[in-house]
């Protein structure tokens, strides 16, 4: 979200703020790979949180014996 507002300071939300590179280079797409990495990290964090909550609940049920 912060990356989107940085682009907003120049003209539009999520505007490309990184220069475009040469084709087939890592950052040739500007901010798109950075946004993909950030979204993937957020999804992974949510998945880890959900799994840990399920495991915590399973251990609690196992300890109580119900």
Is residue 16 situated within a structural domain? Answer: no
CA distance 57 to 66: 12
The reported pLDDT for the residue numbered 4 is 62
Q: What is the pLDDT of residues 4-46, one digit of tens each?
A: 666 566 666 667 777 777 887 776 777 788 888 888 999 999 9
DSSP of 10-64, one letter per residue?
A: TTSTT---SPP--TTSTTTTTTHHHHHHHHHHHHHHHHHHHHHHHHHHHHHHHHH
The reported pLDDT for the residue numbered 63 is 86
Is residue 21 situated within a structural domain? Answer: no
Is residue 53 situated within a structural domain? Answer: yes
Tell me the mean pLDDT in the region 53-62. 93
How many structural domains is the chain composed of?
1
User: In terms of residue numbers, what domain contains 42?
Assistant: 32-66
The reported pLDDT for the residue numbered 20 is 77
């Amino acid at each position: 979200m912060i990356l989107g507002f940085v682009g907003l300071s120049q003209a539009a939300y999520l505007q490309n703020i990184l220069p475009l590179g040469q084709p087939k280079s890592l950052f040739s797409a500007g901010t798109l790979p950075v946004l993909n990495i950030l979204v993937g990290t957020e999804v992974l964090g949510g998945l880890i949180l959900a799994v840990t909550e399920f495991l915590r609940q399973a251990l609690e049920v196992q300890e109580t014996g119900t």
